[in-house]
């Protein structure tokens, strides 16, 4: 696991600072997150301080330093989904599944993310569990979805 | 197609980070039924692209008709494949059709379609029987596939699901069936970029070339000087489709005239509104038009390297664009010495790592350079010192997609549409409470009311329009009575709004505008880059104050009431100072939405502040509940579920709610089996 | 080229190409700034320098906007003042209110600006940020609650010191200044130079406080309390107290230390003289042995930490000698028990210094022998002034006294060691005397020029010494280039530009003019000093001729030396 990004780094041997973000994205895609060690090794390769890399990576919502949960829950934060929502989806999930926006629950089961418009406003408010999409039209819908997330573990 | 032949340009695009492709994205990468043979390639490159005439020979023409499926021997079926329809179940529909064709041994071709526009109709399925016009059907979910194909393949049209026919009025016509362009959704639109005749396999370069694509690029490279291209674009009156509406031709010329060996073009395809899908939708349906536009614009400004900056999380869009770039490079339309013109261009696809502020030019450049995407002070402007300090032109996707159309049809054609100072068309992403939602394109100068009443078919459920949010997170709310406003730069600017992101959200009485302002500030205070004080602290403070307005604190003391009033008094001042002093457009425009609520819906705001009431009933935090002693059986369920322990009582006796502790969450209301809890 | 601008209805001359702010400042018009840093490009982050320019819809930032001919500017219009006020009020809304207890009370830029803008009421309230103290570093304490994110520390760390320890983390409301993975400071690559402390406009960064422990010890009768300080420290204290520096001020300072309760007052100049003597000896030996080794100086603790964490290859080339403070401290703990008839553990040794890294230096393993630290406490000049005020000492009213033997005298060379290039100059003087060769006038001039890298050659033929001076860590890249071509006998490295005169423990080090004045003053004193070379210093003669032979601890030269090893930190 620790060396999962070696290959990516070797591909970028002659890289410069402009490649930093694509490399981070690739490492994340492969490992699921960006580890401290990856930051250190990348820093050495590109001659950028680890603070520099952490500073840059922490700026972007799409880069994270912890693996996503087994069930990654995305809640659409598009305007249309917001005005059509009947229940504070984020709050309920945060309370029910004990996971905060942008974080992964302590047991590694769930992670939660607020995302931009997914392009299917007519079926909003949208919620995605991994790649499955659900309309959350009522509190009942949400309860059903949460039950579904909790089951089949 | 051999991979080894791929010119250098692909290399750069291949090494860019890819977010995980969905299954659908993978499907889009490998269209099965396209006739991509050596022969096709030869005809397309030699007899179409490199052919030194605007028309092609009759033989080639009929070959092209076959390729575009204009002329088909077997039925051609397509499923709309875009981010929205995939969510709606396009993949299942696709699989069901595949299954059907296999089960019944039907010899038909199944293809990916682009978009119809109205996402409510997704998944859209089209069927084109040989010699007949193409039929569009709406909401063809997995379950409907069998019956639809059963009928249509037997020349019967199920009217319920039919959107219309597309094609010509004589031999292929389905009698008694409306034409698609007469559909109310399309009738008032002017679709140049959203051309529904360019529907099949958006990322397939062969179909694009067969439909006349890339010919303009080759012609431009061969017969126009770079100055001429700048002239034509400038003459057309094309202006940047987001931001300040600067003349695109002038912008290109500024960069052209700057003395530098290296220049960059950046296509900003990052949606500037988290609630819109404009650019992504456009790209998903017309990826090659964008690539062609970038190529022509790069040529005009003298850039040999271009970047496309696309939003993260848009897996399907990214996959479509990546595949299109690969194919364009494979065809020699990108890379070194494009079609012997001496012009080189490498396009690199960059996925935004996730920062709203990167819609701002200097922040975007910072992000590309591998830095924190924080806006920088101007001057210097990007056109003189941008990416890596070289002259850089940044245009959004929609703007660039207009460029090939202008070069193909001439500046007069383009400027024939629109108003005096705003030419051409404008694409919007329509969402919210309207009956129809999705991507639309209208002529500049169309009244907003036309869009809502005619195109969007009014508000869902026959309700009344309350207001329109235009321009997304940095936009304005336009009240219903002002929707006579025209969609163009001048009219909107005069009303304090801007074309901005192309997001158009319809709002009805069920929307609380104060809550909407809070929602917008919530987004902004998380997305501010954090650099300048007015924006960082201003958005945070405005969010705090607005949060206090839309809910009751767990314990309300006279002190907190006073603080809330003090805060509210400051809101306008903070908003104005943010507008006047923030470093970039994000901070300057962040208070727009609040200010428009203040000017047009002041009574609604005051009601929240003074009466602690929400007329839309959306601010749940303001509700107070009461237990009807006659109905309460003392079952204790409400007291058990109350998250703040505000409900007291003795078992089997009526319970009561302590108003001071109640936060208005409404759980007691939901759980009571005896309807004893009501809103006070 | 000069152009005319109109400011507040008055015509002013401005240089074409300069910013509005620089034109205003030159013409005596002050407008507030919080993020501006002398010598660095504007970032436009604080927005406090906004002015009204006729024809512009928005207010413009004076720090970044260039002047244009006939530009009409209003610097204090109601609109501008309202905007500035609102910005500061926004900052203050979640800023801790406890100014009375703040390190920077009365010396805080935010406080000054709030006062200037006449902010008399908290109109915006929100929960103040919780105190988030990071006290893990031996030298620097951070309090994020007081941070206003002006970015000065980040820029000085990155652009001037080239350390990159600090960076902006996160965005939006969650933006803060931190280190890699948001770890505590002690895990970071911080070299404790304290430049961030110097530029911080608020109390978000300050040196780790040690005043209280000094107070506690000063009360104890069972201890021999000794203090050492350098001539630079005396100068900086005079500066801060608004007094003129002279040798008599130093004598008054000695008296002040006595009044505070110190039993002995020593000069850190002793350690400098030992260091110069030893280093010259080392170089001369290398030359005679024709070893051809390059020696890197090790008297700057910040540089040493930098080398230990990033330049493994240099570690065995470091001269090995401790900093003047630690040399003095080590000799005190070895010699004073013998002279004063006390046990080493009965000596409480304090050093007053211009440097924050000195606090870290005193905590190095090598600087504790047999469980006893050579120096118990290090105070910065800032802390020292606080101590003087706390004890109500009015320096003007004091009579002078001399420092105490045996560490009372210093050579003019020792004064120079607080300048970048000063140690090299001193070593050159000693070697010139030793070999009877002289530096050419051109080379002497080169010695004291500015710039991040300099090189000087002494002598010729077999007796040729090449010296390189790295003035601030920025110069290391030039050294690397030059080393490919030239062999150096001695490379002097000081972490801060100009040397200790820019130390992180003194107020004013961020201002170029003050630093220059310090350099000038030290050079002047050095010239006037009667004792020229370390060898002429009676303290040094005694040390070598009298004390070493009679003291086993002193005879062990290891007490003057450090050992180095690779430090694993998050770079």
pLDDT in tens, C128-168: 667 778 999 999 999 999 999 999 999 999 999 999 999 99
Q: Which residue in chain A has the smallest CA separation from C162?
A: A49
Q: Which structure tokens are listed for C404? A: 């105490």
Residue C61: strand pairing partners: C50
Contact criterion met (CB < 8 Å) for B541 and C64: no
Cα within 13 Å of Cα(C193), Cβ side: 36
Contact criterion met (CB < 8 Å) for C86 and B563: no
Angle between helices C269-288 and C422-435 (to 10 degrees): 50
Sign of the torsion angle spanned by Cα atoms C311, C312, C316, C321: positive
Kindly state whether B567 is in contact with chain C, defined as any CB-CB distance less than 8 angstroms. Answer: yes
Q: Which residue in chain A has the smallest CA separation from C173?
A: A59
User: What is residue C54's DSSP assignment?
Assistant: T
Which residues have C-beta within 8 Å of that of residue B43, sequence separation ≥ 6? B60, B63
Closest Cβ opposite residue C172 in set B528, B569, B583: B528
Cβ B96 vs Cβ B142: under 8 Å: yes
Kindly state whether B476 is in contact with chain A, defined as any CB-CB distance less than 8 angstroms. Answer: no
What does the alpha-carbon distance between residue B459 and residue B457 come to, in Å, rounded to a whole number?
Answer: 7
pLDDT at residue B28, as a whole number: 40
Closest Cβ opposite residue C172 in set B372, B530, B581: B530
Contact criterion met (CB < 8 Å) for A61 and B355: yes
Contact criterion met (CB < 8 Å) for B620 and A126: no
What average pLDDT does this structure show over C225-238?
Answer: 96
The ipTM is: 0.94
The predicted-structure confidence for B147-166, as pLDDT tens digits, reads as follows 999 999 998 999 889 999 99
pLDDT at residue C314, as a whole number: 94
The CATH superfamily label for domain B69-188 reads: Glutaredoxin (3.40.30.10)
Which residues 57-86 on chain B approach chain A with CB closer than 8 angstroms? 82-85
Contact criterion met (CB < 8 Å) for B355 and C171: yes
Higher pLDDT, C347 or B47: C347
Which residues 13-52 on chain B approach chain A with CB closer than 8 angstroms? 15-20, 22-23
pLDDT at residue A3, as a whole number: 56
Neighbours of C526 (CB within 10 A): 20
Q: How confident is the model at residue A87 (pLDDT cuts 50, 70, 90)?
A: confident
The predicted-structure confidence for C472-497, as pLDDT tens digits, reads as follows 999 999 999 999 999 999 999 999 99
pLDDT at residue C129, as a whole number: 67
Tokens 């058990």 belong to which residue? B640
What residues in chain B have per-residue pLDDT under 50? 1-34
Give the closest-approach CA distance of B553 to chain C in angstroms. Answer: 14
The hierarchical CATH code for the domain B205-415 is 3.40.50.11540
What average pLDDT does this structure show over A59-78?
Answer: 92
Tokens 């909790």 belong to which residue? A150
Which option is the CATH number for B623-679: 3.40.190.10, 3.40.50.10470, 3.40.50.720, 3.30.70.20?
Answer: 3.30.70.20
The predicted-structure confidence for C39-65, as pLDDT tens digits, reads as follows 888 888 999 999 999 999 899 999 999
Q: Comparing C-alpha atoms, which of B245, B266, B247, B476 is closest to residue B363?
A: B266
Taking contacts as CB-CB distances below 8 angstroms, the residues of chain C near A54 are 167, 169, 180-182
Cβ B680 vs Cβ B625: under 8 Å: yes
Q: How many contiguous H segments (helices) and E segments (strands) does chain C have? A: 20, 20
Residue of A15, A39, A73, A79 best to disrupt the B interface, most CBs of B under 10 A = A79
pLDDT at residue B597, as a whole number: 93
What does the alpha-carbon distance between residue C431 and residue C426 come to, in Å, rounded to a whole number?
Answer: 9
pLDDT at residue C272, as a whole number: 96
* Percent of chain C's residues with pLDDT above 90: 79
User: What subunits touch chain C, counting only 3 or more CB pairs under 8 A?
Assistant: A, B
The hierarchical CATH code for the domain B425-511 is 3.10.20.600
Which residues 576-605 on chain B approach chain A with CB closer than 8 angstroms? none
The predicted-structure confidence for C5-25, as pLDDT tens digits, reads as follows 999 999 999 999 899 999 999
pLDDT at residue A12, as a whole number: 85
Instruction: Write the CA distances from C497 to A101, C162, C443, integer angstroms.
Output: 45, 12, 21
This prediction has a pTM of 0.89
What does the alpha-carbon distance between residue C14 and residue C68 come to, in Å, rounded to a whole number?
Answer: 9
Contact criterion met (CB < 8 Å) for C90 and B531: no
Which residues have C-beta within 8 Å of that of residue C57, sequence separation ≥ 6? none
pLDDT at residue B7, as a whole number: 34
Give the closest-approach CA distance of A137 to chain C in angstroms. Answer: 30
Closest Cβ opposite residue B533 in set C64, C90, C126: C90
pLDDT at residue B25, as a whole number: 41
Which residues have C-beta within 8 Å of that of residue C525, sequence separation ≥ 6? C231, C247, C412, C415
What does the alpha-carbon distance between residue C221 and residue B339 come to, in Å, rounded to a whole number?
Answer: 93
What does the alpha-carbon distance between residue B550 and residue B547 come to, in Å, rounded to a whole number?
Answer: 5
Cβ A22 vs Cβ B16: under 8 Å: yes
Sign of the torsion angle spanned by Cα atoms A22, A27, A33, A36: negative
The hierarchical CATH code for the domain B514-611 is 1.20.1440.230
Q: Which structure tokens are listed for C399? A: 């009579």
Give the closest-approach CA distance of B399 to chain C in angstroms. Answer: 27
Closest Cβ opposite residue A62 in set B353, B438, B620: B353
The predicted-structure confidence for B223-259, as pLDDT tens digits, reads as follows 999 999 999 999 999 999 876 789 999 999 999 998 8
Tokens 């059509």 belong to which residue? A84
Taking contacts as CB-CB distances below 8 angstroms, the residues of chain C near B530 are 149, 168, 170-175
Contact criterion met (CB < 8 Å) for B530 and C93: no
Higher pLDDT, A88 or B78: B78
Which residues have C-beta within 8 Å of that of residue C245, sequence separation ≥ 6? C234, C235, C238, C239, C521
Sheet holding A110-115, edge to edge: A110-115, A71-76, A126-129, A132-135
Q: Which structure tokens are listed for B447? A: 């009244």
Instruction: Write the CA distances from B594 to B272, B464, B597, C408, integer angstroms.
Output: 18, 22, 5, 71
Closest Cβ opposite residue A51 in set C170, C171, C180: C180
Domain boundaries, chain B: 69-188, 205-415, 425-511, 514-611, 623-679
Cβ B106 vs Cβ B153: under 8 Å: yes
Q: Which domains are present in chain C?
A: 2-76 (3.10.20.740), 91-207 (3.30.70.20), 277-321+412-534 (3.40.950.10)
Chain C positions contacting chain B at CB under 8 Å are: 42-48, 50, 58-59, 61, 64, 66, 79, 82-83, 86-87, 90-91, 93-94, 123-126, 148-149, 151, 168, 170-175
Taking contacts as CB-CB distances below 8 angstroms, the residues of chain C near A43 are 571
Give the closest-approach CA distance of A43 to chain C in angstroms. Answer: 8
Q: Which CATH architecture describes the domain A71-150?
A: 3-Layer(aba) Sandwich (3.40)
Contact criterion met (CB < 8 Å) for A50 and C570: yes
Closest Cβ opposite residue C570 in set A40, A48, A65: A40
Our CA dihedral for A94, A97, A103, A104, rounded to 10 degrees, sits at 180
Neighbours of B109 (CB within 10 A): 18
Q: Which residue in chain C has the smallest CA separation from B533?
A: C46
């Amino acid at each position: 696991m620790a060396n999962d990004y070696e290959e990516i780094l070797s591909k970028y041997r002659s890289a410069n600072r402009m490649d930093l973000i694509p490399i981070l994205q690739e490492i994340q895609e492969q490992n699921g997150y960006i580890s401290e060690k990856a930051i250190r090794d990348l820093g050495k390769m590109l001659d950028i301080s680890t603070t520099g890399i952490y500073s840059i990576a922490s700026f972007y919502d799409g880069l994270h330093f912890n693996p996503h949960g087994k069930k990654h829950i995305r809640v659409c934060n598009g305007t249309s989904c917001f005005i059509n929502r009947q229940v504070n989806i984020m709050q309920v999930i945060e309370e029910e599944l004990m996971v905060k926006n942008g974080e992964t629950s302590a047991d590694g089961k769930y992670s939660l993310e607020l995302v931009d418009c997914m392009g299917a406003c007519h079926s909003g408010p949208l919620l995605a569990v991994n790649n499955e999409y659900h309309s959350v039209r009522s509190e009942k819908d949400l309860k059903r979805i949460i039950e579904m997330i909790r089951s089949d573990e | 197609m051999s991979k080894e032949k791929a010119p250098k340009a692909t290399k750069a695009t291949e090494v860019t980070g890819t977010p995980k492709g969905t299954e659908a994205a993978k499907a889009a990468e490998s269209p099965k039924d396209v006739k991509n043979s050596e022969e096709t390639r030869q005809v397309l490159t030699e007899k179409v692209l490199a052919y030194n005439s605007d028309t092609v020979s009759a033989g080639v023409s009929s070959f092209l008709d076959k390729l575009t499926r204009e002329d088909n021997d077997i039925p051609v079926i397509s499923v709309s494949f875009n981010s929205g329809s995939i969510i709606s179940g396009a993949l299942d529909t696709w699989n069901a059709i595949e299954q059907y064709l296999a089960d019944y041994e039907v010899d038909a071709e199944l293809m990916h379609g682009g978009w119809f526009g109205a996402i409510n109709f997704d998944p859209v399925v089209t069927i084109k029987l040989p010699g007949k016009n193409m039929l569009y059907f709406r909401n063809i979910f997995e379950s409907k596939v069998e019956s639809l194909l059963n009928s249509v393949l037997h020349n019967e049209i199920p009217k319920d699901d039919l959107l219309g026919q597309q094609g010509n009025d004589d031999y292929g016509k389905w009698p008694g069936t409306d034409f698609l362009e007469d559909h109310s959704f399309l009738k008032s639109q002017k679709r140049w970029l959203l051309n529904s005749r360019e529907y099949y396999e958006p990322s397939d370069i062969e179909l694009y070339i067969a439909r006349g694509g890339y010919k303009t690029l080759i012609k431009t490279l061969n017969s126009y000087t770079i100055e001429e291209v700048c002239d034509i674009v400038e003459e057309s009156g094309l202006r940047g489709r987001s931001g300040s509406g600067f003349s695109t031709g002038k912008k290109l010329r500024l960069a052209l005239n700057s003395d530098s060996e290296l220049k960059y073009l950046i296509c900003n395809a990052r949606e500037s509104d988290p609630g819109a899908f404009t650019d992504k939708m456009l790209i998903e349906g017309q990826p090659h038009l964008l690539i062609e536009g970038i190529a022509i614009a790069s040529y005009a400004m003298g850039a040999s390297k271009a970047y496309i900056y696309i939003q993260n999380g848009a897996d399907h869009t990214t996959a479509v664009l990546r595949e299109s770039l690969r194919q364009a490079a494979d065809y020699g339309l990108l890379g070194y010495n494009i079609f012997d013109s001496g012009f080189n261009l490498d396009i690199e696809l960059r996925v935004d790592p996730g920062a709203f502020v990167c819609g701002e030019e200097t922040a975007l450049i910072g992000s590309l350079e591998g830095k924190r995407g924080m806006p920088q002070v101007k001057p210097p402007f990007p056109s003189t010192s941008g990416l890596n300090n070289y002259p850089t032109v940044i245009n959004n996707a929609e703007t660039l997609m207009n460029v090939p159309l202008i070069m193909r049809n001439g500046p007069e054609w383009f400027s024939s549409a629109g108003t005096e100072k705003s030419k051409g068309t404008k694409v919007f992403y329509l969402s919210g409470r309207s009956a129809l939602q999705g991507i639309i394109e209208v002529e500049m100068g169309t009244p907003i009311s036309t869009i809502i009443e005619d195109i969007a078919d009014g508000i869902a459920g026959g309700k009344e329009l309350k207001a329109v949010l235009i321009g997304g997170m940095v936009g304005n709310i336009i009240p219903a009575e002002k929707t006579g406003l025209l969609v163009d730069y001048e009219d909107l600017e005069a009303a304090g709004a801007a074309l901005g992101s192309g997001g158009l959200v319809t709002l009805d009485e069920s929307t609380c505008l104060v809550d909407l302002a809070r929602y917008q500030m919530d987004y902004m205070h998380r997305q501010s880059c954090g650099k300048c004080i007015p924006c960082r602290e201003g958005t945070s403070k405005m969010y705090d104050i607005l949060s206090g307005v839309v809910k009751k604190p767990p314990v309300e003391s006279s002190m907190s009431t006073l603080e809330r009033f003090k805060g509210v008094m400051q809101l306008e001042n903070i908003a104005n100072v943010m507008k006047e002093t923030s470093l970039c457009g994000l901070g300057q425009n962040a208070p727009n939405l609040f200010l428009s609520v203040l000017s047009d819906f002041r009574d609604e705001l005051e009601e929240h502040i003074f009466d602690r009431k929400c007329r839309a009933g959306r601010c749940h935090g303001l509700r107070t509940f009461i237990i009807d002693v006659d109905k309460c059986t003392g079952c204790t369920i409400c007291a058990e579920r109350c998250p703040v322990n505000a409900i007291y009582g003795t078992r089997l006796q009526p319970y009561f709610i302590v108003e001071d502790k109640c936060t208005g969450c409404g759980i007691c209301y939901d759980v009571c089996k005896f309807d004893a809890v009501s809103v006070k | 080229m000069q152009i005319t601008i109109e400011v507040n209805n008055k015509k002013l001359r401005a240089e074409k190409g300069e910013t509005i702010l620089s034109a205003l400042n030159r013409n005596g018009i002050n407008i507030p700034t919080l993020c501006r840093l002398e010598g660095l490009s504007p970032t436009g982050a604080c927005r406090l320098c906004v002015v009204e320019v006729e024809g512009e819809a928005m207010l413009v930032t004076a720090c970044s906007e260039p002047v244009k001919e006939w530009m009409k500017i209003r610097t204090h219009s109601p609109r501008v003042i309202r905007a500035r006020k609102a910005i500061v009020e926004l900052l203050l809304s979640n800023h801790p209110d406890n100014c009375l207890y703040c390190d920077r009370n009365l010396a805080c830029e935010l406080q000054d600006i709030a006062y200037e803008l006449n902010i008399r009421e908290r109109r915006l309230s929100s929960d103040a940020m919780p105190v988030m103290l990071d006290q893990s570093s031996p030298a620097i304490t951070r309090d994020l609650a007081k941070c206003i994110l002006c970015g000065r520390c980040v820029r000085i760390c990155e652009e001037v010191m080239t350390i990159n320890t600090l960076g902006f983390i996160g965005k939006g409301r969650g933006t803060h200044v931190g280190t890699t993975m948001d770890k505590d400071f002690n895990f970071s690559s911080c070299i404790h130079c304290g430049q961030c402390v110097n530029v911080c406009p608020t109390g978000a960064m300050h040196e780790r406080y040690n005043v209280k422990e000094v107070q506690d010890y000063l009360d104890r009768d069972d201890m021999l309390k000794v203090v050492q300080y350098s001539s630079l420290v005396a100068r900086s204290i005079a500066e801060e107290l608004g007094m003129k520096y002279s040798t008599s001020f130093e004598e008054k300072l000695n008296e002040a230390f006595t009044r505070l309760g110190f039993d002995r007052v020593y000069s850190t100049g002793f350690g400098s003289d030992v260091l110069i003597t030893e280093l010259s000896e080392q170089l001369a030996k290398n030359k005679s042995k024709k070893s051809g080794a390059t020696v890197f100086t090790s008297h700057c603790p910040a540089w040493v930490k930098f080398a230990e964490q990033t330049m493994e290859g240099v570690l065995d080339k470091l001269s090995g000698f401790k900093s003047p403070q630690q040399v003095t401290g080590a000799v005190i703990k070895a010699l004073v028990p013998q002279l004063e008839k006390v046990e080493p553990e009965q000596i409480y040794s304090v050093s007053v210094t211009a440097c924050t890294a000195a606090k870290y230096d005193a905590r190095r393993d090598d600087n504790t022998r047999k469980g006893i630290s050579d120096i118990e406490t290090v105070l910065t000049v800032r802390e020292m002034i606080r101590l003087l005020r706390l004890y109500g000492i009015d320096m003007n009213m004091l009579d002078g006294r001399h420092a105490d033997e045996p560490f009372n005298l210093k050579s003019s060379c020792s004064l120079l060691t607080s300048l970048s290039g000063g140690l090299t100059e001193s070593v050159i003087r000693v070697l010139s005397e030793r070999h009877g060769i002289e530096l050419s006038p051109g080379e002497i001039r080169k010695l004291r020029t500015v710039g991040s890298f300099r090189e000087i050659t002494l002598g010729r033929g077999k007796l040729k010494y090449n010296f390189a001076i790295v003035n601030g860590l920025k110069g290391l890249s030039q050294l690397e280039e030059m080393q490919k071509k030239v062999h150096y006998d001695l490379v002097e490295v000081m972490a801060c530009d100009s040397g200790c005169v820019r130390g992180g423990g003194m107020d004013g080090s961020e201002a170029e003019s003050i630093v220059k004045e310090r350099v000038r003053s030290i050079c002047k004193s050095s010239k006037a000093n009667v004792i020229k070379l370390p060898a002429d210093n009676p303290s040094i003669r005694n040390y070598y001729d009298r004390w070493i032979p009679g003291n086993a601890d002193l005879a062990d030269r290891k007490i003057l030396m450090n050992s180095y090893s690779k430090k694993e930190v998050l770079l």
